[in-house]
Amino acid sequence: MEELNIYIVTSNCARNIIDVNLFAAHLFDVLPASSTAPDLIVLSLQELAPIAYSFLGGSYLQPYFDAFVKLVKQATAKRWNEYYTNMVKDHIGMTALLVFARADIANRLIDVDTAHVGFGFQEMGNKGAIGAHLKYASAGQPSLTADLTFVAAHLAPMENGLLQRNRDWQSIVERLVFTHGQDSPQDPSKNGHTADERTSLLRDNDHSTPEGPEKSPHNLFAPNAYLFLAGDLNYRTSNISPLKDDHARFPKRGATPESPYHYSHLLKDDQLMQEMREGRTLHGLTEAPINFPPTYKFSNAAQQAARQALENGDSEAEWLWSTHRWPSWCDRILYLDDAAKVRRAGDGLEVLTIKPAVYDALPLLPHSDHRPVALSVSVPLRRLATPANRDSTTDGPSVSSSTQTAGPFQIDPQWRSRRDAARRKEIVVGVLAYLGMTWEGNGMVLASFAGLIGAWMVLRSL
């Protein structure tokens, strides 16, 4: 069975430009030494840049995006001597999504579409989600495909923000809408696109799939698509902040499973697992077993110690937690494992399931109080149902019908107008934040003030 190997990383950047060399040296730490280069690399990034640059977008964000493009180029060249093409580079506010394809398969990715939803203050993108939907077609058999949806998200913070996080998930389902170019806004900035969100390679390819019916707008629960959700989902291990002495009970590095300081005891209180069991959030999604310690919140001392540890060859420094937040698994990667996707193989049915190989945390890096999390998976390709192959019994396995997973919420008919209104607010806030919170903006204000004073003095002298 032909499969597509995907490596997904979620990382909260704490609004800092990353140390490319340090991150590149550890980007693939969780993979076995014998692993081959993945077909796709997906980066979900939260707090990519300060709010002024994030809301204004364009050239203001370019240095932050360039750092991650360089990161992937450097890390893959060193590990496998492979080159990757950046297929998707987009954001909504402070949350970004990048998708890279190995150069030898990049022209097999088609029908790329992106979608955005904000659910921060006034539905702006200080918290939000960005999604990409695309199709991969096999080189030798163009009808053998994989429809893929990747969503990068940053949900509401704080221990007591549980209900808001669940509402944020509802907003993603209702208002993250893929239109496939139908009735799309003329101005990309209106819905948070970066200027270079498309690559011409996506349009000029030699491996197009058979033409199907015109696609109608849909949410992240796309028909027949594999779905991956990665981000700082912010679910905590308590509904209240730590009390004065609670930090004494925080997990400790090196503790055995029998010890009360082992992280597994805290994992039992994970809000996300509890809410999913009760059917209140991330409906239908699956997560691989968590066998790594909490990824948040590390203290400033921990971040400073992280660089020294990594430079000394220790992939994990001492766990120095911030005492005012419960250590939690905020950074997660989940997927929709839809058992309805089956393929006839001989006399039986073969279930097309996502196969997680590795789910683990990367080392703490000095630019953030979160540890990045990585998921390595393989997804089987499935044959596109067409009149020519639907009833075939001789040319390979035929296809049984696949059904769309029913989403828990309907698409909001006002999704576009709400995003447009929020985007206008983002521009205003971005300009004000730029003038008041950046050195460049402060300089412009001072220069303007000095110019006004000078003009006033000239007028007085006349």
Each residue's pLDDT tens digit, 248-306:
999 999 999 999 999 999 999 999 999 999 999 999 999 999 999 999 999 999 999 99
Q: Which residues contact 271 (CB under 8 A, 6 or more apart)?
A: 162, 165, 235, 236, 237, 239
Cα distances (angstroms) measured from residue 159 to each of 134, 237, 290, 326, 380 = 35, 8, 20, 8, 38
Asked if residue 343 has pLDDT above 80, the reply is no
CATH code, 3-461:
3.60.10.10
- Mean pLDDT of the 96-124 span: 96
Mean pLDDT across 377-386: 79
Q: What is the C-alpha to C-alpha distance for residues 329 and 296, in angstroms, rounded to an integer?
A: 6
Amino acid, single-letter form, for residue 102: R
Comparing 53-62, 80-89, 194-203, 343-352, which segment has the lowest mean pLDDT? 194-203
Task: Supply the pLDDT for residue 405.
Answer: 55
100-104, 125-129, 198-202, 366-370: least confidently modelled range: 198-202
pLDDT for 29 equals 97
Instruction: State mean pLDDT over 136-160.
Output: 92
**Higher model confidence: residue 227 or residue 181?**
227
Single out the residue of 386, 358, 368 nearest to residue 291, CA to CA.
358
Phi, psi of 112 (to 5 degrees): -80, 130
Quick check: 154 pLDDT over 80? Answer: yes
Mean pLDDT across 419-443: 88
pTM: 0.87
Residue 329's pLDDT is 99
DSSP string, 370-400: S--EEEEEEEE-EEPP-TTTTT-SSSS--B-
Tell me how far apart the alpha carbons of residues 451 and 377 are, in angstroms, rounded to a whole number: 59
Total length of the chain = 462
| Alpha carbons 320 and 131: distance in angstroms, whole number | 34
Q: How confident is the model over 343-350, as a mean pLDDT?
A: 54
pLDDT value of position 361: 98
3-class DSSP state for residue 9? Answer: strand
pLDDT tens column, 160-173: 999 999 999 999 99
pLDDT, residue 451, reads 63
The residue extents of the domains of the chain are 3-461
In this prediction, residue 210 has a pLDDT band, given cuts at 50, 70 and 90, of very low
182 pLDDT more than 80: no
Lowest mean pLDDT among 243-247, 352-356, 405-409, 429-433: 405-409
Q: In what order do the strands lie in the sheet with 84-92?
A: 84-92, 95-102, 40-46, 3-12, 373-380, 355-361
* The pLDDT of residue 385: 57
Average pLDDT, the chain: 86
Average pLDDT rounded to a whole number, residues 102-108: 96
Are residues 328 and 269 in contact, defined by beta-carbon separation less than 8 angstroms?
Answer: no
Q: Is the pLDDT of residue 144 over 50?
A: yes
Residues 6 or more apart in contact with residue 236 via CB below 8 angstroms: 158, 159, 162, 271, 325, 326, 328, 330
Using the predicted structure, report yes or no on whether residue 205 has a pLDDT greater than 80: no
- As a dihedral over the C-alpha atoms of residue 177, residue 180, residue 184, residue 190, rounded to 10 degrees, the angle is 50
